[in-house]
Amino acid sequence: MLDLIHSSIPLQPVSLNTLLPNSLDLSSNQGQSFSPDQFDAVVMGTYGRFPLTLTRGQGCYVWDDQDRRYLDFVAGIATCTLGHAHPAMVEAVTQQIQTLHHVSNLYYVPEQGALAHWLVQHSCGDRVFFCNSGAEANEAAIKLARKYAHTQRGITYPIILTARASFHGRTLATITATGQPKYQKNFDPLMPGFAYVTYNDIADLEATLADLDRDQPQVAAIMLEALQGEGGVCPGDRAYFQRVRQLCDEKGILLILDEVQVGMGRTGSLWGYENLGIEPDIFTSAKGLGGGIPIGAMICKAHCDVFAPGDHASTFGGNPFACKVGLTVCQTLVSENLLANVQARGEQLRAGLERLVQQYPTHLTEVRGWGLINGLVLRAESTLKAADLVRAAMDQGLLLVPAGPQVVRFVPPLTVSADEIQQALLAMEKALTSLALT
């Protein structure tokens, strides 16, 4: 199984240049060129990388070290909300680095307060904790849910239910939360206090809850993605999530939604949960929140804000620089009316991809997704794999990312234009033709 970002399987070797490591000139920061061998000699091999070196970007385009242009429908994996070198981001970054970029959370940070206010005003949440990544935001949510269970419900061994095929990050707690054994292999002992249910399957959830809470309440929280991204772009079922919310209310269980990949407008609503007609008690954001500058946030309703000073912290969390950029991303989403763009461009993309499914029924089966997170699903019995199609698209100047072995994911910047969607569809058509599928 080839999962590029989350795999340690090296992809095909690359041959960009053959300088020996000791001939590298590190005295200048201009135009450094690293061959893959030099790179791999010093960077841990935790990623399977494509043979591509990207050196600059503008809008929805990126350029490689040979000055070849690509349409970027990866966007740092659903992260570059405003594309590359957006003027608002350039201005925010420049202004904030010249003013004050980092201070400790020993003091009040105005930019942190401003971003927290924006998030609270534009969501169901009341309080925000800032950190630096999605995994960290989920760690914070797990800790909050455990403390709530201990202090508010008297649960001594809290269990958090998560879904099979989910993805919540790479720390020890979040690989345990991630319901996919391939991410857990060789990292035992895993974190105690997690159990798994099948996504969108209410009967399985009800049976698991009945089993775990048979003698005494143990289930502290249910943690789900509104749409499973890494798990293959699988949207949540509305009726399922409404029943989950009902069960949580009946039993005092907290509902945590991981909005790391789908939040910040990617689905055409600001938050993924809006597509499901429910509100979580806790939700997490990262990726798109900073538009490519590292930031994470855990947001909760007032009733479960049980953290006290000293319970949780992060040196970089909520620093002026990251928060200024995050606030700029949020404000630009509104000022450029990007949710409407996400909805219109998403429909255009899905319609085009569905035409391709009709053209290649032996290999392609369906298009799944919301807004600008969409998956082109390959037939299980096809010899074509997602990574093959991603490579063929790259040859046509289009960057895509697999979501598992059978799904090709399209997550362009939310600023993508109708013309760029059209170009991407043409590149897909050419990529499929180039594979000479039978």
Ligand X SMILES: Cc1ncc(COP(=O)(O)O)c(C=O)c1O
Residues that bind ligand X (CB under 6 A): 133-135, 138, 167-169, 225, 229-230, 258, 260-261, 286
SS3 sequence of 186-199: CCCCCCCCEEEECC
Report in angstroms how near the CB of residue 138 gets to ligand X at its nearest. Answer: 6
Tell which residue, 149, 169, 145, 168, has the closest CA to residue 157.
Answer: 149
Token code pair at residue 79: 């992260």
The enclosing H or E element of 91 equals helix 87-99
**Contacts of residue 153, Cβ cutoff 8 Å, sequence gap at least 6:** 217, 220, 252
Of the candidates 3, 34, 147, 258, the residue annotated as catalytic is 258
Q: Is 251 part of the annotated catalytic residue set?
A: no
C-beta of 74 vs 205, nearer to ligand X? 74
Report in angstroms how near the CB of residue 229 gets to ligand X at its nearest. Answer: 5
C-beta of 138 vs 406, nearer to ligand X? 138
C-beta of 57 vs 179, nearer to ligand X? 179
C-beta of 257 vs 327, nearer to ligand X? 257
Q: 89: burial class by Cβ within 10 Å (0-12, 13-18, 19+)? A: buried
Angle between helices 320-335 and 110-121 (to 10 degrees): 40
C-beta of 158 vs 229, nearer to ligand X? 229
Report in angstroms how near the CB of residue 5 gets to ligand X at its nearest. Answer: 7
C-beta of 260 vs 425, nearer to ligand X? 260
Report in angstroms how near the CB of residue 322 gets to ligand X at its nearest. Answer: 13
Of the candidates 34, 72, 287, 316, the residue annotated as catalytic is 287
Of the candidates 34, 129, 130, 167, the residue annotated as catalytic is 167
- Closest residue to ligand X, judged by C-beta, is 134
Q: Is 50 part of the annotated catalytic residue set?
A: no
H helix intervals, 100-217: 110-121, 134-153, 172-177, 181-184, 202-212
Distance CA 53, CA 394 (A): 12
Half-sphere exposure of 405 (CA within 13 A, CB side): 10
Measuring CA to CA, how many Å separate 143 from each of 158, 171, 251? Answer: 11, 13, 20
Report in angstroms how near the CB of residue 171 gets to ligand X at its nearest. Answer: 8
Report in angstroms how near the CB of residue 202 gets to ligand X at its nearest. Answer: 21
Q: Is 258 part of the annotated catalytic residue set?
A: yes
- Reading phi first (left if > 0) and then psi (alpha if -120 to 50, else beta), residue 310 is in left
Active site residues: 167, 258, 287
